[in-house]
Amino acid sequence: MAFKLSIKDLKSFVLLNINNRLGHDVREKVLPALDTMGGYEGIQQDLRTSVTEGVTQNEIEVRKSHFGINYIAPPPLTPFWKFCWDALQDPTLQFLCFSAAVSLVGGGEGVGFGIEEERRCYGYTDGIAILVAVAVVVLVGAAQESAKEKQFRDLTDSASDELVNVIRDGAQVRVSNREIVVGDCVVLSTGDIICADGLVFERNTLKIFEGALTGESNAISKGQYEFKEKGTFEVIDVLLLLIGSEANTSQIPKDDDLMKFFPANTTMTLEQMRGMYEPTPSKTPLVFKGTQVQDGEGKMIVIAVGKNTYEQLLLGDKDDGEEEDEE
């Protein structure tokens, strides 16, 4: 089975949406790219799916092979010897090891105090006894720590394996989130943690909280792009914020703020910027793995799973940054 869209195509489309969130950027860059892909209907056709029928059960393994699986393998467990080494960093155990070494080296030569004959016959006994005691303490402690890590890994692994509602072969079924594949039509409802990146473009009532990934403080309505009035941007009135109201006011951006939304080398005048500027659309179609449905219901078509999601892209960038800091 051949798919017209590749992992690279879908990932590029996600990044294009992320990097161009303002209305005028969406019109200039995102919508043309969406049109090139045939719009929402074209994406469904290229992924051989639909919001009404979903994918067929006999395609699941093929899709996993082509687009990847919706599971990130955890890092390997800490080696047992590492727990033993960490246990040996205890100063008390280090002192006991030193004492055992002295006893072993000097015992056979009769070095030390007490009856000389006993020292010659049993000189090694104390050293060996100490080492055995240290070994027991280290091995028991390492075994306990290793067991704790394994239990925590199993608990985390089972907690992350949840059932989600999908449409397959035209019927709604519940499957493990690890069985989700690109092209699946996932049915979302209030409280759901989204298990993959996807597109929402049918009529719905979804509001998604994306603060953990995008920094947005309010839930975002999802659906086909809906644009706000040009030349204004939202400013939440402090008084309205204090009383808990969601009402917004709009005003013309200040010149310094306005210039930040355009490339530094632009040749546009301030008047042209004012006429072109559009705030973030009131509705956007892209939803991300790890975000939560705050309210409403709707369906999404999965376009990225596992290591190809935006969440994993952010985690990868973070890991790269930490490695650079260590260097």
State the pLDDT at residue 259.
59
Mean pLDDT computed over 26-50? 91
Percent of the chain whose pLDDT exceeds 90: 43
Residue 281: what residue type? P
Q: What confidence tier does 159 reach under pLDDT thresholds 50, 70, 90?
A: confident
Specify which of 108-122, 253-267, 291-305 reaches the highest per-range mean pLDDT: 291-305
Mean pLDDT computed over 124-145? 89
Kindly tell me if the per-residue pLDDT of 86 is higher than 80: yes
167-180 pLDDT per residue, tens: 999 999 999 999 99
State the pLDDT at residue 261.
61
Mean pLDDT computed over 244-267? 56
Burial of residue 142 (CB within 10 Å: 0-12, 13-18, 19+) is: buried
Positive or negative, the CA dihedral 77, 164, 171, 169 is negative
218-238 pLDDT per residue, tens: 888 998 988 876 655 544 443
Q: What confidence tier does 43 reach under pLDDT thresholds 50, 70, 90?
A: very high
Give the residue with greater pLDDT, 89 vs 214. 89
Q: What confidence tier does 320 reach under pLDDT thresholds 50, 70, 90?
A: very low
State the pLDDT at residue 190.
92
Give the residue with greater pLDDT, 109 vs 182. 182
Closest alpha carbon to 216 in 300, 160, 287 = 287
CB atoms within 10 A of CB 266: 10
CA dihedral 307, 308, 311, 312 (to 10 degrees): 40
56-67 pLDDT per residue, tens: 999 999 999 999
**Which residues sit opposite 174 in a β-bridge?**
165
Kindly tell me if the per-residue pLDDT of 117 is higher than 70: no
State the pLDDT at residue 239.
37
Q: pTM of this prediction?
A: 0.72
State the pLDDT at residue 79.
93
